[in-house]
Amino acid sequence: MKHLWSPWRMPYMEQPNKNSGCLFCDCLEENDGPSNLILHRGQNAFVILNRYPYNNGHMMIVPYTHAPSIENLDADVLAELMLLTKQAVMILRQEYEANGYNVGINLGSAAGAGIAEHVHIHVLPRWEGDTNFMTTTADTRVLPEALDATYRRLRAAWQQTAKNQ
């Protein structure tokens, strides 16, 4: 049996279940901060950190429109999704200097979508060797930076980018 001690998850697990059913839609009703992990709100979409990231800096670009697939979105929303994805890569490159980036959309649960009813784009930094012995032999990920530290770092970068535009 494998055990991984992660006490930072207990406050999340003990929260009363007040969700309407869509994590993304519910996050929009909260003030932006470490509790909802929203880094930036645009006109048609927003950027949020993944609460259970594959790597530090794992962001998601999410339309405000609650829809399961990209074909349900209009051209303005699709354009903003791509522009925010571009900004996310630029900010990750600036802040983390990763060796590469994964950018992708999982449409439907069969394709790996954890929240299949609300389409979103994953953007995550990758480093040479980030799949190491812990992942290979213990099926465990090691993230060197706490999620709240990642949030503060990337939120500041998004705010700086907004000032420069």
Give the amino acid at 5: W
Q: Of the listed 40, 58, 120, 122, which one is catalytic?
A: 120
16: how many CB neighbours lie within 10 A of its CB?
A: 5
Furthest CA-CA distance within the chain: 51
Helix (H) or strand (E) holding 9, with range, is: none
CB contact set of 142 (below 8 Å; sequence gap of 6+): 132, 134
Q: Which amino acid is at 147?
A: L
User: Which residue intervals of the chain are DSSP H helices?
Assistant: 10-14, 23-28, 75-96, 133-138, 147-164
118 is a catalytic site residue: no
Axis-axis angle for helices 75-96, 147-164 (nearest 10): 110
Q: Where are the beta strands (DSSP E) in 20-58?
A: 38-41, 45-49
List, by residue number, the catalytic residues: 120
